[in-house]
Structure 1
Amino acid sequence: MTEQPSRRATRVWRRPMRSRDRAEHHRVATPLELLFDLCFVVAVGQAAAQLHHALAEGHFGHGVLSFAMVFFAIWWGWLNFSWFASAFDTDDVPYRLATLVQIAGGLTVAAAVSSAFEGDFRLMVAGYVLMRLALVVQWLRAARADPECRPSALRYAAGITLVQLLWVAFLWVPHGAQLPAFVVFAVLEMAVPVWAERRHGTTWHPHHIAERYGLFTLIVLGEVILSATNALKEGTAEPGHLGALISLAAAALVLVFSMWWLYFDRPGHARLVRSPTMFTSMSWGYGHYFIFGSAAAVGAGLEVAVAYDTGTLHLGGVAAALPTTVPVAVFLLSVWLLHIGPTNECRPIAIGFPVAAVLVLAASFTPAPIHVTAVLAAALVALTVVATHGEPQPG
């Protein structure tokens, strides 16, 4: 059996944008996709930093709502690029240039995070629309070159374009009506793939998609570590708190490591391969908004905890704990729903995740909430190791 030549063995200026094989072997993330992720992590870091500032000032409702809106723009731009690349990545010059425009849009979104938290969405919308219209160009290329996928590609192009017109109109929506308008427009954005894939789905690659989501999870967890490290660095300047900060740093490290372990313990592609339906792919892909968002929010929560332990935060103990415990609980529940499942054959794990999430929320009322949360997360890791000992990994 002869080996097929690599698609990337010969560099050409332009290739037809054909669908890739869903069963293609050794389908891994490309260097361009990794660069795309690194540029988007800037936006994630900015969103987490602004969330921290809002929480530290006691503006919980405004901070969480603004973070959710900003993070949607970041997440949705990343998600659409990743799923398109899984099905149509040609890696020619026009494809790379269109990706460059998407990166420029993502960096513009990152630069607009602080103004969006203050209610000024002009720069945010400009970057977001730039990012999305660049993807429209990619879909039109796919429609021209791939007759089989042409109906879906044209639906994507038309749907995305129409919704971008709505986002531009969002700039003239009265302040009191912005939240309802945002919800409606976001739902319409998420409805475009459902409509476009209804008759003929694109040939995304399950292993490649799972790897892409895993890589972005790693990047977000890296932002958590960076946020905690910066907070600890600032905290050491406060005299008399070194012991408490060292203890908090150890708890934060255990917590982040446990989150990594729990997410990657089960192969991400297993559910996509086992049930490759549109509902499964959509629910799995869309559900990661809560995994990514909650993981990023943990970094902001740990910064609040550092400020509380050093006495520079004017909040009560419970109020200082909730910015960490709530996102950790959301993370555990999201991983449980997307990777484990309530009907999982391993009952200790199926029950352990939601129980751990409830106990993490209860930890907010303890004298050392971050430490208790870290212990609970580590205990859940130990439970998964013991419960699955000797069992083959799902493929």
Structure 2
Amino acid sequence: MTNQERRGWLTPMRARSADEGHRAATPLELLFDLCFVVAVAQAALPLHHAITENHVAHGVGAYLMVFFAIWWAWMNFTWFASAYDTDDDVYRITTLVQIAGALVLAAGVESAFEGGNYTTITLGYVIMRLALVTQWLRAARNDRQRRRVALSYAAGITIVQVLWLIRLALPDSWSVPLFVLLVVAELLVPALAERAKGGPTTYHPHHIAERYGLFTIIVLGEAVASATIAVRTGVDEGEHLAELVTLAVSGLVIVFALWWLYFERPAHRLLTTLRTSLLWGYGHYFIFAAAAAIGAGIGVVVDYDMHHAEISGTVAGYAIAIPVAILLVPIWLLHVRPVQTGAGLAAYPVTAALVLLAPFGPAPVTVIAVLLAALVAITVASARRTAGAAEPAQP
């Protein structure tokens, strides 16, 4: 029986099987991702402007804080839905409330970047998190085996949300240290709750890998949009068209290569224990944040090529080089290093190091694109050698 066939106003929220067949992302989850990408785009745009205006430290700091709120709310819903998606009316409405919270958060991004005012972002974040608390309370009522796990989640999330609200009333000089402490508290909630009696929750490895993969694709799409804008800008203004077309092509190669590297191996086989699942899930903060920042970096280079930026060519190059290098490292640590051996294993960190050197030379974006294309070729060749070695010898 499908979710649609059994859907009602309120059905018991029992744990779904971790090996359920044909488990795939639902239309509601896809809508959730789409709306969250609105918040991602709102965070990447002021990062682009901050770097262009040579306010790099402020822009990067604000971006990392805002992106944590977006990513953490998305991640918590994703893992909860993998274990407890009932698709009844109450579940749908509660999820739509979380989406509304994401849009409130997106509305507060500009004031956070420009004036350091995080009130609207915090309120949107708390809306998302408290909506999830109601879901965990439903799970605690119906899933007797994991009642303590669900109540631990509900209590932990609620306490941390109260602390986020208290943070708004404290002096600005405390803002960053308190942010770091509360981030640590947020990260500890799942790590501790999943170890409660009856845990862990029954997340579906295939479903989780698909959800993360879909969000990676959507976030990388922000960079494709930036490459498109680069060409359109050149056509509209009739200046520097050759440079912008080269930038657009290089940007597309970068995005295509990163997509290839991320999806080269199936990820669900890595989610075998609670420890590896937490590391894999948490490590994607850097993948998602870096992928979105690549789009902002392309915008920075466009502004530099059009002489609209107040930064040097080296800084403009690093606007792309740094997020690309950062993205390569967690892909290597999370997807490659656990399953690959041999000389090809070193290709990722070596490429990341070379990417960081590219801004010191001419055409850094093109050089980065060539480096990533070469890494894809090395990865594909290594995978084929491994597969060939695993095949039994023919008589």
TM-score normalised by length of structure 1: 0.95
Q: 1:164 aligns with which of 149, 161, 164?
A: 161
Q: Post-superposition, which runs of at least 4 consecutive aligned residues in structure 1 deviate over 3 A?
A: 235-240, 343-346, 390-394
Q: Counterpart of 1:139? A: 136
1:57 deviation in Å?
A: 0.5
**CA deviation vs aligned residue, 1:72-103 (integer Å, no higher than 9, x gap):** 00000100000000000000000000001000
CA contact (8 A) 2:230 2:248 kept: no
Matched position secondary structure for 1:289: helix
The answer for the alignment partner of 1:221 in structure 2 is: 220
What corresponds to 2:393 in structure 1? none
Report the Cα distance in structure 1 between the residues aligned to 2:144 and 2:94, rounded to whole angstroms: 21
2:100 aligned with 1:101, yes or no?
no
The structural deviation recorded for 1:390 is: 5.5
TM-score by length of 2: 0.95
2:319 is equivalent to residue 323 of structure 1 = yes
Q: Identify the residue that residue 147 of structure 2 maps to in structure 1.
A: 150
Q: Structure 1 counterpart of 2:383, which letter?
A: T
Partner of 1:81: 77
* Alignment correspondent of 1:183: 180
Contact 1:238 1:310 in 2 (8 A): no
Q: What is the 5 A alignment of 1:279-318?
A: 279-318=275-314
**Pick from 353, 360, 365: which aligns with 1:358?**
353
1:292 is displaced (CA, Å) by 0.2
Runs (5+) with no aligned partner, structure 2: 391-395
Q: Is the partner of 1:19 in helix, strand or coil?
A: coil
For the Cα contact (< 8 Å) 1:346–1:387, is it kept in 2? no
> 1:391, CA displacement in angstroms?
4.2
Residues 97-106 or 224-233, more deviating: 224-233
Structure 2 residue 368 is matched with structure 1 residue 369 = no
Provide, for residues 343-377 of structure 1, a one-character-per-residue CA deviation record: whole Å limited to 9, x for no partner: 64432331000000000001010111000000000
Following the alignment from structure 2 to structure 1, what is the Cα–Cα distance between the partners of residues 238 and 28?
45
1:1-395 alignment runs, 5 A limit = 5-118=1-114, 119-199=116-196, 200-272=199-271, 276-341=272-337, 344-389=339-384, 391-392=386-387
CA RMSD across the alignment: 1.4
Aligned residues of 2:82 and 2:207 also touching (Cα < 8 A): yes
Instruction: Tell me, in whole angstroms, the C-alpha distance in 1 between the residues paired with 2:9 and 2:311.
Output: 58
Q: In the aligned structure 1, how far is the partner of 2:234 from the partner of 2:43?
A: 21
TM-superposition CA deviations, 1:164-201 (whole Å, max 9, x none): 00000111121121000000001101100011001311
Contact 2:12 2:142 (8 Å CA) reproduced = yes
> For the residues of structure 1 that align with 2:62 and 2:158, how far apart are their CA atoms?
25
Which 10-residue stretch deviates more, 313-322 or 102-111?
313-322
Cα shift readout 1:262-291 (whole Å, capped 9, x = no counterpart): 00001121211xxx2221011000000000
CA shift, 1:253, in A, is 0.8
List per-residue Cα deviations over 1:141-167 (Å, max 9, x = no partner). Answer: 000011001000000000000000000
Amino acid in structure 2 at the alignment position of 1:59: H
Q: Distance in 2 between matches of 1:210 and 1:344?
A: 16
Which secondary structure does the structure 1 equivalent of 2:174 belong to? helix
CA distance in 2, matches of 1:389, 1:113: 45
Check whether the contact 1:235–1:306 (CA below 8 A) recurs between aligned residues.
no
Whether contact under 8 Å (1:102, 1:130) holds in the other structure is yes
Distance 1:10 1:201 in 2: 26
> What letter matches 1:290 in structure 2?
F
Distance 1:231 1:38 in 2: 23
Distance, in Å, in 1 between the alignment partners of 2:269 and 2:373 is: 24
Q: Is the 8 A contact 1:51 1:64 kept in 2?
A: yes
Aligned residues of 1:348 and 1:383 also touching (Cα < 8 A): no
Q: Which amino acid aligns with 2:136?
A: W
Give the drift of 1:234.
Answer: 2.5
SS in 2 for 1:99: helix
